[in-house]
Each structure stands twice: as structure tokens, then as C-alpha cells.
Amino acid sequence: MTRWLDVEVGNDDIEINTLPSNLALVDLHNDNEYKLLIGDLGKGEEGPKLKVFRGAMQLLDLPLPDLPLGVVGFYASDTVPRIPPVVAVAFSSCIYIYKNMKLFYKYYLPSIDLSTSESEIWKQIMDPQNHNEEVIPILTENLKAVPHKVLSAESRNFLSMTLDQQLEYVEQMTEMPSRKIPEVACITTLKMHSIERQSVSCLVVGTEDGEVIVLDPHTFHQLSIAKLCAIKRTPYQMVTTGLYNVDYRITVATREKSVCVLKRDWSEGRLLFATDEHIVALEVMPTDHSVLVICCDNTLSCYSKKGKRQWSLSLEHRPVALTLVPVVALGVTLAAVALASGHVHLYDAKARRDTMFVKDAASVMKFGQLGQEEHVFITITKSGNLMVKILKRTADFNAHAASVESALTPGAGTKPWFIPKKSKLFLEQSVRERENPRAMHQKFQQELNSLRLVCARSLLQAHERADNCVAAGALNAVRLAAEVEGLGPVFRVTLILENTSPDKAAIGLAILFHVPPANYKVSNPYIKVPLLPPNAKLQFPTKVEEIFEDANPDVFFRTVTGEGGERSLVKILLVKEGRTSPVLAATVLMPPTDPMMLPYEKMQQGFENMALEAMEA
Amino acid sequence: MGLLDKLSVWLGRGRTEVTVLVLGLDNSGKSTLLDALRPPEQRVHHSQPTVGQQQDHFQSSGVSFSAWDVSGAPRHRALWERHYRRAHAVIFVVDSADHLRLVVAREELELMLAHPDMFGRRLPLLVFANKCDANHALAPMQVAAALGLERITDKPWHICASNALSGAGLTDGIAWLARQIRDLHIQHH
């Protein structure tokens, strides 16, 4: 039983090439009908675009000036009546703010001065005396010596040029680069003063220089700025929890195999933990702020909010994406992990609760409200298709629910065993055991041995009697009956095998179906019958399907109440090991399939055949 | 059974009420639909989602209906089954412009039909493909296919497009329902 309903998406014209940060679910028109916003990176000729989907239907296609880094939607003011949320799209150089899907404001990060060594070199490059083929390479080498991370875009651009291009470039240059515009690395939002759905949020921007800037949603001036870590770290995914005006945490995954955390009133973030391999994605559980990460070494790990590793699972394949699946009605928050093999596993802590399979492997996942449905799972596959699944209302992710796999290997770090308190009964028993242990042990062993003896004896008895039955040859005591249920084309034939003998068991029996193969298909034509104890009944339900190879119109127009005729005779044989002829045989006259239940295409084919015959006649 | 008996049954039926259950997802237009069936002077314009349930009365073709309008919010859908036993007919309202949730509507309809109190009972099922005036609204036959109505064999069903705001299509559907209930009743006697 699947827990998900598949929504049909016309995939022909949807081709999306995007990243997890470029997906947002936003109540764009304030009508409680959430839209899906996707910052599409484009492919080949197609440039980057911002796409808006209503359900699985594309509403809008907005060309973007550059590759999008992140798309978020948030409320900028709390006036009543509510103004629809604004949408922010981050690019490497700036952030575009859209109101009602129209460009409203472009935000550039404040520029900073060049480092002294870099500006010194540029001064020399600008000097016309140095514009020759001897000096420029030396200056280029000097520029290369400056750490790459602190270089401005101009310097990097200059370094990537050939010597001829460099000479041409310096000739044309009129002004020395003096200031550097920091580049945006990632973007997210943080609620200001209330966790309500429509409350105001501020923008949080992570820069390539390793700074985290919080912006006022209305005026876009900096509310706070902090370095991510004492050592240079580059953020690439940020998750915020809490409220800006009360208390908040910004958990940041960096490109340097580590996770940093930044809290309210900190001027500098701290390293939370480091991982062995590169981090693919990070999520923070809303309940206890524990951090989930998937890494390139095929692991899913959980760290406490203090940075201590709590558990780690090794995954069968390379993880591609991670998203949280909060199901409020059930009070659980699952973590969905997409693997390169196409499997999407849903974990509740370490226990796997559900598995889905995506045909051409998921590349981006998102869970949340879409349209008016709260629990929607959106997947974008590697080939760019959009897949939408809705969680069933009756879905259950309990450990006891069917098809839930229990937790993997109970290795180290599992919970201690649950040992109940000692009861009075237990204490009394233990006192008795201490007083006369030898007698109790002997008594127990004696009883156990006699029980084993009784078992063995009765088994032997049953076996001998069954053998006698074989020797006698006649199986008078076994009766075979058949019941047919269903309207067709699939019928259920239940065979009832009864041993009427009061004391003899029957063994070595088997049931064999004998059907005209052109008309019927039996799911299990040979059934081995287990030991049939005396006075016992066994039922063997089998599926028998009527097949319509020839699509003869006569078959379709036979009366429902009538009989199927010769073609519908099914023989059931009861055979016994070591005997050449069947022991018992029964003939079942199968009822004809109800014409209402016939597969549509077969009917169609039948009618075509009939028409052809009529034409020939 | 003579003609007079039939007539008396018809008239008798007119006096007693038939309980009809109005089901459907949230925001499909159940309360608005029932509102449109009232005489114009009694209409109240609903804008808030129904919480729990409310009862409504209307008449058509000599049959008097007592309608239970049940909340369609996800957390209230589990309460639908409490009304199944006493229902004589079901009106299922679908937002034909909400393509995304058609699968949810289908799932809820299948759950309802498979419920022990409903399974095998020959009560008429009327489906309204509501909001037929909206952009991108599906035609009633497409809605019927998306809901898998053709697989229902134990109940007479009928689908018609409707617009609860203007009242278009409602009378046709209710007239069908009244006819079904009368026919069923005559068969019983």
C-alpha cells in the first residue's frame, strides 16, 4: 500500500534544470493557494528563467539576467489587509526583489576596499611605464600570490587573460579598480517577531567572503553583519530557526567540509562540527535543532545542536538531495533522502519509514503546501521532469504500520534496554530458587524431557499412519470440492480438500490444474499439499483468468446466466507422489465473464473483427 | 401494487424527508451550493469554511431533502463516516478547476464507497463538477474519468457541471436525484 497519490503532470513541455535552493512555495496572491516558484538555470539555448507553477500547470515564465542562486518568498510588511509576499531572487552580484512578479528593487551588497597588496599591484599595472611584455608577467605573478579568495572580480578576470589580452586591457583601462563588490553565495529568510505564517521576515544573505548579512525587508539596509567563522569559510546552504527579534540560530553548511552556527548577538559564528567528506545538503530539525547532513561518503548523519554526532547511517548509493517532510497531523518530521539510484527513502530518525522510487532519479526535492493541499512532495528529476505526489490523509508512519522497515543494525549508541521493575512475584520466585536450586532444576529438566518424548512419539504415530494410507492405495477418505467466485475475467477458484478419516493423515498430495491454455490462465497450476491431518480441511484459493486471445465476438455476446460451453471446462486433478494416475479428479464448469467486466480494448477488437467479418460476407 | 398505492407513496414521500449527505474537499463549494438551492430571500452568503457540519432543507420535484453539509477540511474528513448510515443519497462536490487535488477527491470518494456503511448500498450518487465557469475548469466527463466514476457498479451515479455562485446546473442535478429516490422507493414497495 503506497502512502502517496500521484498527480498527473503533463511532462512534455516541462524541462527544468535547477538546484534545491531555487525552489520556493509561496502564497503569491494571498488566497491560500500556494504557487511553486522555480529558478530555472536554463539549458543550452534557453536562458535562465523564473517559472511560476499553479499545481502542475505553468502560469508564468520570467527571463532572468543571470543564473539564479536562490529563490525565496516572504512577507515584507504586516499592514492589514495583507500585501502579497515579495519574491527575492539572488544572483552572484545582486538580489532582485519582485512585487506582484514585477521587478521592484535591485539590491547590491555594500562594496569593500581592495586589500593593500592587491591595490599596490594594480597601481603598478596602471603605470604606463610598465605596459610592456617584461613587466606585466611579473605583476601577474605577484597578483597570483595574493590569496585567490580575497581577489576582486577584476583581478580574477585579469588573471584568466592571455598576455596579449592583458596588454590590450591595461591600455584601455581608465580607472583603477578600487572597490570590490562582494558576491552572494546563498540566501534564505528569517521570521522577525512571530512564527505566524504571514508574519514579516527578513532576508539573510551569505556571501562568498564568508559573511552573513541580515537585511531589513522594507528598507534593505543591513540589520546585522557577522563573519561566519574565525577561519575563512564559504557558506553554501543556510537554515534559520527562531525569530530575529527574540532568538535565532543560523546553521550554515560550508564548502570546507564543516557546519557553522551563528546566533543572535554574536559578532562571529562558530564552527559546529566538521565532516570527513563534502556536505551535499543540510537540514535542521525544528523540534530539537539537531542537524542532519548527507555527505559525499554516502552517509546520513545526525548531530546534536551542540555539534556532537548522535548517529550515522551509511546509504547504499550516493545521496543527491535532502528535505524535511513535516506531517503535522501525525506529529512527525521525516527526512527524505534521494539517492542516485532513484530511491527516495523517508527516515524518522534512523528508522526507515517509507521508500519511493523515481524513474530517472530525483535531483531536487521539496515538501510543503502547494495549491490548497498541505502535504505535497515535489520532485524534479535529473532529466528535468516535474513530479508531484500528495500524501494520503490516511497515511501512517508509525513503527507498527505495515511495510515499515524496522531500524537497521542495533549497533553502538542505541538506547539501553528497557528492563521492567522487579515484581513481588518475581522476588518470591527468586527466593524459592535460591533455597532449593538443585531440586527445581532437576524437576524442570525432567518435565522438559518428557514433553520432548511426547512430541516425538505423536509425530512418529502420525507419520506411520500416513504411510499406511499410502500403502492401502485407496484415498477414499479424501474429498475434493471447488468453489468459483467472481465476475471475471479473473475468477477465484477455491479448492477445499478434506480428510474425513478419523485417524489417518495424508501426505505427498498435490493438485494439478488442467485447462485449455488458449482460454484460461491459472496463476498457480501446481499446488503442493502439505500434510493433511485427520478430520481437517485445507483451502487453496487460486486465480484463474479467462483470456481472450481470439477476441471472438460470439464470446462477448453469450448470455451471462448461461454456460460457457466446451471451452470453459477446467479439470482439477489430485495426484499423489509415486503414482502414475491421478487419485481424484474434479471438473469445474467456469461461468462466462460478465461482458461489463471485459477490458475495453478487447471489446473494441472484438467489434472490429465482427465488422470485418460482416464486410467479407 | 396498484396505481393508487404508488400515488400514496409519492405523496407520502413528499411529506417525509430524505437525508442527503453533501461531501467534497474543502473549498469545493458545498455550502455555497446549498445556499444557491434556497429561496432567494433566505440566502446567506457564506465566505467562511464550514466547521463541523450544518443542516439545510430544500425541495425538488416533490421530494423534500434534508441536507447535511459536512466540513471538507482534511482533519474533519474522518467525521464523514458518522453520517453514512443515515444517508439516503450522496452529493459529492468537486472543484473542477483544482487539477492538483482531483486525485485527493478520488481517494476520498473511493474511501467513502468502500466504507462498510456504504458498500453495496444502492443509494444514488450525484457528482457536481463545480466552478465550471473558472479558467482551466475541466469538462464533467473529464472529471468523471479523473474520479474513476465508471468503475462504480453498485450505485447509480450522475455527474453534471455546476456553478454554485450563479446556480447554473444545480436544478438538473437535483432533479435527477429526486427521480432516482422516487424510483428506488417505488421498487421497495
Comparing C-alpha atoms, which of A62, A54, A51, A7 is closest to residue A33? Answer: A54
pLDDT number for residue B188? 64
Residue A52 resides in a domain: no
Query: Of the residues A180, A197, A226, which one is the last residue of a structural domain?
Result: A180
- Mutate which of A6, A7, A328 to disrupt the B interface (most B C-beta within 10 Å)? A7
Q: What size, in residues, is chain A?
A: 617
Residue A567 resides in a domain: yes
| Whether A193 contacts A246, CB under 8 Å | yes
Residue B15 pLDDT more than 60? no
Is the CB of A210 inside 8 Å of chain B's CB atoms? no
A369-408 residue pLDDT tens: 998 888 999 999 988 888 899 999 888 887 665 444 444 4
Residue A171 resides in a domain: yes
Comparing C-alpha atoms, which of B96, B120, B93 is closest to residue B108? Answer: B93
- DSSP characters over A112-170: EEPPHHHHHHHHHHHSGGG-STTHHHHHHHHHHHS-GGG--HHHHHHHTS-HHHHHHHH
User: Domain spanning B3-188: which superfamily?
Assistant: P-loop containing nucleotide triphosphate hydrolases (3.40.50.300)
Per-residue cell: A415: 538506547
Give A151 to chain B, closest Cα distance, Å. 49
* CATH code, A485: 2.60.40.10
Number of other residues whose CB lies within 10 A of the CB of residue A269: 24
Is the CB of B111 inside 8 Å of chain A's CB atoms? yes
Number of other residues whose CB lies within 10 A of the CB of residue A303: 22
Helical (H) or strand (E) element with B178: helix B170-188
Residue A376 resides in a domain: no
Residue stretches of chain A with pLDDT short of 70: 11-12, 149, 178, 399-416, 465-476, 549-566, 595-596, 599-603, 606-607, 609-611, 613-614, 616-617
Is the CB of A436 inside 8 Å of chain B's CB atoms? no
Query: Of the residues A150, A165, A180, which one is the last residue of a structural domain?
Result: A180
Is the CB of B99 inside 8 Å of chain A's CB atoms? yes
Amino acid at B135: N
Query: Of the residues A144, A164, A180, which one is the last residue of a structural domain?
Result: A180
Nearest chain B residue to A59 by CA distance is B136
Average pLDDT along chain B: 84
Contacts of A473 (CB under 8 A, 6+ apart): none
**Range of the structural domain that residue A604 is part of:** 478-616
Give B158 to chain A, closest Cα distance, Å. 18
CB contact under 8 A, B99 and A373: no
| Cα–Cα separations (whole angstroms), residue A68 to A21, A380, B154 | 9, 17, 54
CB contact under 8 A, A372 and B108: no
CB contact under 8 A, B107 and A56: no
d(CA A79, CA A77): 6
| Whether A244 contacts A223, CB under 8 Å | yes
Residue A143 resides in a domain: yes
Helical (H) or strand (E) element with B177: helix B170-188
Residue A228 resides in a domain: no
User: Closest partner residue to B101 among A329, A371, A392, by Cβ?
Assistant: A371
Q: Phi and psi dihedrals of A10, rounded to 5?
A: -70, 105
Residue A384 resides in a domain: no
d(CA A125, CA A75): 48
pLDDT number for residue A563? 55
Nearest chain A residue to B106 by CA distance is A5
CB contacts of A58 in chain B (<8 Å) are: none
- Mutate which of A393, A598, A600 to disrupt the B interface (most B C-beta within 10 Å)? A393
Give B103 to chain A, closest Cα distance, Å. 6
Comparing C-alpha atoms, which of A248, A185, A197, A224 is closest to residue A85? Answer: A197
CB contacts of B106 in chain A (<8 Å) are: 5
CB contact under 8 A, A393 and B108: yes
Please identify which residue in the block is written with the cell numbers 588573471: A159
SS3 state of residue B72: coil
Helix intervals (H) in B60-169: 81-84, 102-114, 140-147
Pairing type for strands A179-180 and A184-191 reads unpaired
Contacts of A104 (CB under 8 A, 6+ apart): A86, A97, A98
User: Closest partner residue to A7 among B26, B74, B103, by Cβ?
Assistant: B103
CB contact under 8 A, A56 and B101: no
CB contacts of B26 in chain A (<8 Å) are: 372
Q: For chain A, what is the domain count?
A: 2
pLDDT number for residue A214? 92
SS3 state of residue B187: helix
Provide the 8-state DSSP code for A17.
Answer: -
Amino acid at A188: T
CB contacts of B143 in chain A (<8 Å) are: none
CB contact under 8 A, A390 and B27: no
Cross-strand partners of A336: A323, A346
| Cα–Cα separations (whole angstroms), residue A245 to A423, B93, B174 | 53, 45, 56
| Cα–Cα separations (whole angstroms), residue A499 to A470, A509, B102 | 14, 12, 53
Residue A123 resides in a domain: yes
Is the CB of B168 inside 8 Å of chain A's CB atoms? no
CB contacts of B104 in chain A (<8 Å) are: 5, 373, 390, 393
SS3 state of residue B100: coil
pLDDT number for residue B56? 84
| Whether A484 contacts A491, CB under 8 Å | yes
User: Closest partner residue to A393 among B77, B99, B106, by Cβ?
Assistant: B77
Give ipTM to 2 decimals. Answer: 0.86
Is the CB of A25 inside 8 Å of chain B's CB atoms? no
In A230-342 the beta strands, taken as DSSP E runs, fall at 235-243, 247-254, 258-263, 270-274, 279-284, 291-295, 299-303, 309-314, 319-327, 332-339
SS3 state of residue A109: coil
CB contact under 8 A, B99 and A374: no
Helix intervals (H) in B37-169: 81-84, 102-114, 140-147
Mean pLDDT of B141-163: 92
Number of CB pairs, chain A paired with chain B, less than 8 A apart: 46
| Whether A295 contacts A276, CB under 8 Å | yes
End-to-end Cα spacing for chain A:
51
d(CA B169, CA B181): 19
